[in-house]
């Protein structure tokens, strides 16, 4: 888990469904890079998509243990 992906999860925690543009704005990063991070987190099963294609982080908190 990269620090940028962790920051993205923190920004999405409790936000409800958001579009990729909104996710990028929340972390003040470029759309293409955030889109790649979202794809990786979707593939890992950490993020989900709503029926209309919005990104959702369906958890109330983030805890990463090493």
**CATH number, domain containing residue 47:** 1.10.10.10
What is the chain's pLDDT, residue by residue, as a tens digit (66 residues)?
A: 889 999 999 999 989 999 999 999 999 999 999 999 999 999 999 999 999 999 999 887 777 777
Show the domain range for 11: 3-56
Domain count, the chain: 1
pLDDT value of position 59: 80
pLDDT value of position 32: 96
64 lies in a domain? no
66 lies in a domain? no
Backbone angles phi, psi at 10, to 5 degrees: -60, -40
Cβ-based neighbour number of residue 26 at 10 Å: 16
pLDDT value of position 37: 97
63 lies in a domain? no
3-state secondary structure of 8: helix
Predicted TM-score (pTM) of this structure: 0.87
21 lies in a domain? yes
Task: Please tell me what DSSP assigns to residue 18.
Answer: B
pLDDT value of position 29: 96
30 lies in a domain? yes
């Amino acid at each position: 888990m990269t620090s940028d992906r962790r920051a993205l999860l923190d920004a999405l925690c409790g936000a409800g469904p958001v579009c990729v543009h909104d996710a990028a704005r929340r972390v003040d990063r470029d759309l293409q890079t955030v889109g790649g991070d979202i794809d990786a987190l979707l593939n890992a099963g950490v993020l989900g998509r709503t029926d209309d294609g919005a990104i959702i982080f369906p958890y109330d908190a983030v805890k990463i243990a090493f």
